[in-house]
Structure 1
Amino acid sequence: MVFSSEPVVRLDKACVFQGITAILQDVSFDIDKDEFVFLIGRTGSGKSSLLKTLYADLPLKMGYGKIVGYDLQKIKTKEVPFLRRKLGIVFQDFQLFTDRTVAENLYFVMRATGWKDKSKMKTRMVEVLMRVGLGGAATKMPHQLSGGEQQRVVIARALLNHPSILLADEPTGNLDPEVADGIFKLFQEINKQGTAVLMATHNHDLLNKYPYRILKCEKGKLLDSKTSEIVT
């Protein structure tokens, strides 16, 4: 007997709204638990709005959406923090507390997501920093790190709660090409260890170099390279 696992993300005829404006319509796609998927499109085409809908920062008003077991139309406000514990969210602009050390930035997220045991918190903090290649950075302030190192801290932060999927919004957008390539390879390693990745990007070098599936926001629709010929 063959058992099929449920996709980590499923949208079916979903509409993505900003306020009362529909940005994307009739959006349907699945992402499996070990997939790596690029999300592309022009500025303003709906990439960030789609990601915000997936982590429940924007409500799903029409259609069906489910991510890591949560129904996005039915999710209650009090459930959103529990949803986000099962996601890893990586922003382009880091969003680190500049007046706190790297360790304090990570501890803040752990406390906010229900961690209590200080020993376990320290162990996990060390684990994720080692995983992103920053084992010696715990006591440093963000301004003491390069842009690439700060993005690695953000990725470490996203990994704290063992997420099923990473949602990354232009994670290499502010980095030079060599540093960006290193960050991308880190996402690849994380993906190979079983975490799905949905990465919004404008980086055509990555798209040309790595033949992953592509979702493209264009003219209010979402095209999927699994079923469409996509010109990047």
Structure 2
Amino acid sequence: MMFSSEPVVRLNKACIFQGITAILQDVSFEIEKDEFVFLIGRTGSGKSSLLKTLYSDLPLKMGEGHIAGYNLKEIKSKDVPYLRRKLGIVFQDFQLFNDRTVAENLYFVMRATGWKEKSKMKTRMVEVLMRVGLGGSATKMPHQLSGGEQQRVVIARALLNEPSILLADEPTGNLDPEVADGIFKLFQEINKQGTAVLMATHNHELLKKYPYRILKCDKGFLLDSKTSDIFEKDQI
């Protein structure tokens, strides 16, 4: 059981691999349970690989890593679904089932993560849709929703199991600026209610507007705004 004072993420001298290629080396950082952290870097710099390592889609081969009480170095494949119940994962490209309603998309995830009682499933489904402002959209198909509404469904899906942290990979990348701003404010609300957020982004305006901590993938290393001047060269 994870103590409340423990960081939700802790990496120490980790090496992040994509296949046999080391993308990032000597990665050490912690994220506290209520923190909001931006993850930035050029395309191909290792942002997505780092996130995939955190939700155990890529193995941690070197160094130490813990997230939501799980040891990423030692986790067995049968335990990965249990880890992911403690994480909320938000993708840029939604990854919704287009042949199922919003409710059916959420029920699918609940069944896959061990929910069994239909009444509790329905109650939770309604709760998360209300939380993201889509209380009237349960019976709609994804194609009947705007891009911003689809992303809100994805966030609702990520919240189903009350995660310790949301891992978001460019969640506003495909959205118009005004819609993206609404999605970002939703992440802020979720964070204020006690869920940590690690958000990969290319959006320079967000970085200028909100003074959150920043992790930057740069030339094979991870820089932390807590300890480095990551904008020294004025490049994001």
- What secondary structure is seen at the aligned counterpart in 2 of 1:58? coil
In the alignment, which residue of structure 1 is the partner of 2:98? Answer: 98
In the alignment, which residue of structure 2 is the partner of 1:67? Answer: 67
Deviation digits for residues 16-53 of structure 1 (CA, Å, limit 9, x no counterpart): 00111000000000000000000000000000000000
TM value normalised by structure 1: 0.98
What is the aligned residue count?
A: 230
Partners of 2:200 and 2:12 in 1: CA distance: 20
Amino acid corresponding to residue 123 of structure 1 in structure 2: T
- What secondary structure is seen at the aligned counterpart in 1 of 2:60? coil
Partners of 1:42 and 1:28 in 2: CA distance: 20
Moved over 6 A (4+): none
Give runs of aligned pairs for residues 1-232 of structure 1, distance below 5 A.
5-231=5-231, 232=236
Partners of 2:222 and 2:188 in 1: CA distance: 24
- What secondary structure is seen at the aligned counterpart in 1 of 2:168? strand
Partners of 1:27 and 1:228 in 2: CA distance: 14
Of all paired residues, the percent bearing the same amino acid is 89
- What secondary structure is seen at the aligned counterpart in 1 of 2:94? coil
Partners of 2:230 and 2:129 in 1: CA distance: 37
TM value normalised by structure 2: 0.97
- Alpha-carbon offset, residue 230 of structure 1: 1.2
Could you list the runs of 5+ residues in structure 1 that have no partner in the other structure? none
Partners of 1:143 and 1:8 in 2: CA distance: 35
Alpha carbons of structure 1 residues 44 and 112: separation in structure 2 relative to 1, 3 Å: same
Amino acid corresponding to residue 90 of structure 1 in structure 2: V
- Alpha-carbon offset, residue 210 of structure 1: 0.3
Could you list the runs of 5+ residues in structure 2 that have no partner in the other structure? none
Deviation digits for residues 186-225 of structure 1 (CA, Å, limit 9, x no counterpart): 0000000000000000000000000000000000000000
- Alpha-carbon offset, residue 66 of structure 1: 0.2
